Structure 1
Amino acid sequence: MSTDPDKTARMPEACSILGLSESTIRNRYKESGRWYDPSFPKPKRLGSMGRRSAIGWNAQDLYNWRDSRPEAV
């Protein structure tokens, strides 16, 4: 699926794109996560409040990661 290459997806949209819960997504991108996946797109900070600012992903990166995964049977 093509999307605006500059579109930023916040957590609710990332959940929808990937079909994963918020906690599973966090576990994929955090190195300390139970299901850490180094190929998972890294989120970007969207604010200037350091660790407390919102995060988002490049939507196209999420689609590309999803499409690169093997299909569940």
Structure 2
Amino acid sequence: MNHVNPGNSSVPTLHDQLCISRNFSHQDHQGSVRTVSSRKVLRCKQALLKLGISRSSFYAKAQKSSRYFDPTFPKPVALGLRSVGWFEDELDAWLDQQAFTSTVGVA
């Protein structure tokens, strides 16, 4: 089965994307073997549950025009034309930073 994208070899095929999302070693069409680490993407509902904040607070932290804007808040990742997600490890790091800054100065 040929997994090469004939139009543009720099664009990953569906096979490549599946290998990346599952943390597989993959042999590309040129014979190179690469291992890509897996990063889990959470959709909005999952991210809200992880962070424990409301949907409006979630988007307010990401919106530059909001008075609640947080420049350290993780940026969304486009998954398609009308869908986005957030990397779970970035959300975890943001949560850790929030916990650290809220305990600094507490004796």
TM-score, normalized by the shorter chain, greater than 0.5: yes
Q: Give the counterpart of 1:59 among 68, 73, 88.
A: 88
Q: State the 4+ residue runs in structure 1 displaced beyond 2 angstroms.
A: none
Query: Residue 5 of structure 1: CA displacement?
Result: 5.0
TM-score by length of 2: 0.55
Match of 1:14 in 2: 47
- The offset of 1:63, in angstroms, is 0.8
Identity of aligned residues (%): 34
Give unpaired runs (5+ residues) of structure 1.
none
Aligned pairs, how many?
A: 64
What runs of 5+ residues in structure 2 fail to find an aligned partner? 1-36
In structure 2, relative to structure 1, the CA distance for the partners of 1:5 and 1:16 (3 Å cut) is farther
Q: Which has the larger radius of gyration?
A: 2
Of structures 1 and 2, the one scoring higher in RCO (CA 8 A, sep 6+) is 1
CA RMSD of aligned residues (A): 1.6
Is structure 2 residue 68 aligned with structure 1 residue 35?
yes
- Aligned equivalent of 1:45: 78
- TM (normalized to structure 1)? 0.79
Distance, in Å, in 2 between the alignment partners of 1:38 and 1:30 is 9
The amino acid that maps onto 2:89 is Q
Q: CA deviation at 1:54?
A: 1.1
Cα distance in 1 for residues equivalent to 2:59 and 2:76: 10
